[in-house]
Structure 1
Amino acid sequence: MSHPNNNLPSNEEVELIVGNSNSNFSGVTSTMLQVTSIQKDMMNLRIMGKHFVPDPSLVISFWDVVKMCRKPLSNGKWRIFHARRVDEMIQGVILKYLFGAKIKLVFSSAAQRKRSGFTVWLSNRMDAVIAMSNRSASFLNKPPAKINLHGVQTENYLPAENKQEAWQSLGYGGKYGIGILGRVREQKGVHLFVEACIEVLPKYPDVNAVVVGAISSSNQEFVNQLKDKINRAGLAERIIFTGELPFEQIPKIFSALSLVSALSYNEGFGLTVPEAMSAGAAVLATQAGAWEDIIRPGVDGYIVPTKNQKAVTEKIDLMLSDMDQLAAMGKAGREHVVQNFKVEDEARNLVEFFRTLQ
């Protein structure tokens, strides 16, 4: 548990204000907290909004920011305001243009869809827009100032020393495990994974599969239909829906899996893939999120088109046909993430970019 840091510099010299407007915990909240835990040792920062912040001394209110930003820092530089959501852009625009705050506005954009006219208007008020992947950059109305991919906490997502033992200790049966993680719904491509498993698992008696994630009431019928298909194929003990597991168990699951699929139709970023790679799992992912920027096809996994059952089934079959090669892909993925996609790199790249704006 984090304890308040009483040695923080005063608000007078805060250089970075980080938006935190959502009271629901989300992927954006998670990445913000991970990045700021490192950034706070690089820049004097405060988080605007108390939701989920472990250290209350880092929290600042909107009205504190209004007061603090009436004048620039003592060295004459302006503070940075970093928004990751549309409503945080709105807050930043109000601070700067209504209250005259001496701030530079930065927005990190992950969405992969055409933006509304209002969002485009807001992003045009920013001093800089950062894209979270090449794919998200292509949806912006003008080129981003920077592309900065999310990083992973590589010390939390570690490969098991022995994947077979780690998998067997989880109690899902079989010698090896493959899986898909995240909310269980059609948009995540869960049915593509299940249909592929029904097709190929009879060829690989040592391999069992898990579908890990929450099932909402609106998706229960979707899951029931998949379970019926699994039962008819006689695979009920080999393709298991775990339901939602405690967050702290997820790294353990990743570290035991030999292959992780991520088959979303669209994705803001998709941390599942680099987290799985960090944990030494080979990966199969769709052309969504940042996955094409991260996966090296044939080296640490494969990329398939979205909504393509045939491609998913063929690639899972190919990957399971050589377990030594699958393990080698997992090792290659771990090295790739450690070298290129650590959360420390994401934080440092952001701070270096912020310095260029001040």
Structure 2
Amino acid sequence: MPKTKNNVDLDEIHVIAPNFKQRLSGVTSTIIQLVPVQNRLGQKVAVLGPGLPSDLPHLRFRDLWKLWRPPEGHTHRVWHARRNIEMLPGIILRDLLRMPLKLVFTSASQRKHSGWTKFLIRQMDAVIATSAKTSAYLEVPNTVVMHGIDCETFRPAEDKAEAKRVCGLAPNLRYIGCFGRVRHQKGTDLFVDAMIAALPRHPGWAAIVAGRATPQHQAFEDELKAKVAAAGLADRILFVGEHTDIANWYRTLDLFIAPQRWEGFGLTPLEAMATGVPVVATDVGAFSELVIQGETGTVIPAGDLPGMIAAASALLEDPDVIDQQGRSGRRHVTQRFALEGEATSLGGLYRRVAI
């Protein structure tokens, strides 16, 4: 039996986080993680739309008529959109129906916007960029608020051998991970090629590809598995599929590689570093703003397979550096990228816009 949604009264809500896309995405994941923390900080946020856990505070569409009345102590509510399909309804509610709303939009895009998107963005009362790179693509004033992560969920293993046993891995091997959707854009093939080159020289290591290949990318994954088998490494480059307990898999790792060819923001380096795992990451998304070169990992050019092999091999040959960078990564993320920091920054922007 499906769980009953935690429906709340709009009179109790100051911020609305619409989610008008059913399919799970990075935006949806951001909302799922942020809203509970925002509410713990007293920001009174509720979600609106499908595809979100039932235990989040949900608004019902039939209650939106109450938006004509602002919350007590405020002149406006905040409508925090993260996609075009959420900006447009906010504009209609504010400008056509004259509801007391302030519109906030978060952009993670690192490409030139279409004319339609530029028009929508110009109607916003405040715009947030998730990185300095994203900010540079915006043609309106904006505030950079970088994503954070839950540093309690993503934490180092107390007993790494036990963490490996929990995931069905060999406790005597050290593991390199690549987590995320299996597709060309995500650079899964670069990771596999790098591991085929590096692992024969490092017999104490193995690699894990964790993530789902959607039907249109299944042939891509099948080709990678065939390449691994042909290299005689099927027992050391493991395709483990998609897992909801991904934090447990991070705790099995000693090195993480983020090989993407393109990314909007990209949380996986933060998740790895929070777990005490150093990172080799391509210079896409916000990765160069997340990883401290030579201190918490290494940033290489996108698509640079020789560079990936060299960076990974240098770490595989120096366990002391791996341990040092892992500790530095954990400290770096807890100090600068805890989810509470992102929520606090958003709360400050909401107050400036809506009070």
Aligned to 1:32: 31
Give the superposed CA RMSD: 2.1
1:50–1:59 CA contact under 8 A, matched in 2: no
Q: 2:91 aligns with which of 75, 78, 93?
A: 93
Aligned to 2:205: 207
Aligned to 1:55: 55
User: TM-score w.r.t. structure 2 length?
Assistant: 0.92
| Counterpart Cα distance in 1 of 2:310 and 2:277 | 18
1:163–1:176 CA contact under 8 A, matched in 2: no
Q: Percent identity?
A: 38
Aligned to 2:314: 318
Aligned to 1:342: 338
User: TM-score w.r.t. structure 1 length?
Assistant: 0.92
2:73 equivalent to 1:84? no
1:172–1:240 CA contact under 8 A, matched in 2: no
1:168–1:175 CA contact under 8 A, matched in 2: no
1:192–1:263 CA contact under 8 A, matched in 2: yes
Aligned pairs for 1:1-358 (under 5 A) are 11-41=10-40, 42-55=42-55, 58-65=57-64, 67-75=65-73, 77-144=75-142, 146-167=143-164, 170-173=167-170, 174-245=172-243, 247-248=244-245, 250-358=246-354
| Counterpart Cα distance in 1 of 2:233 and 2:51 | 43
Letter matched to residue 338 of structure 1? T
Letter matched to residue 186 of structure 1? H
| Counterpart Cα distance in 1 of 2:91 and 2:267 | 29
2:21–2:50 CA contact under 8 A, matched in 1: no
Number of residue pairs matched? 351
| Counterpart Cα distance in 2 of 1:331 and 1:2 | 40
Shift of the 12–222 alpha-carbon distance from structure 1 to 2, 3 Å rule, reads closer
Partner of 2:68, secondary structure, is coil
CA offset at residue 49 of structure 1? 1.9
1:172–1:208 CA contact under 8 A, matched in 2: no
Shift of the 49–192 alpha-carbon distance from structure 1 to 2, 3 Å rule, reads same
| Counterpart Cα distance in 1 of 2:178 and 2:199 | 15
Letter matched to residue 88 of structure 2? I
Q: Deviations over 1:295-323 (max 9, x none)?
A: 10111111111111111111011111111
| Counterpart Cα distance in 2 of 1:166 and 1:135 | 36
Which runs of at least 4 in structure 1 moved beyond 6 Å after TM superposition? Answer: 1-6
Partner of 1:237, secondary structure, is coil
Q: Deviations over 1:135-192 (max 9, x none)?
A: 2112212341x11111111111111124355335533445200010111111111111
Letter matched to residue 240 of structure 1? L
CA offset at residue 255 of structure 1? 0.9
| Counterpart Cα distance in 2 of 1:60 and 1:134 | 33
Partner of 1:159, secondary structure, is coil
| Counterpart Cα distance in 1 of 2:70 and 2:218 | 54
CA offset at residue 2 of structure 1? 9.6
2:283–2:300 CA contact under 8 A, matched in 1: yes
| Counterpart Cα distance in 2 of 1:156 and 1:3 | 25
1:164–1:175 CA contact under 8 A, matched in 2: no
| Counterpart Cα distance in 2 of 1:186 and 1:59 | 36
Partner of 1:193, secondary structure, is helix
| Counterpart Cα distance in 1 of 2:155 and 2:98 | 47
Unpaired runs of 5+ in structure 1? none
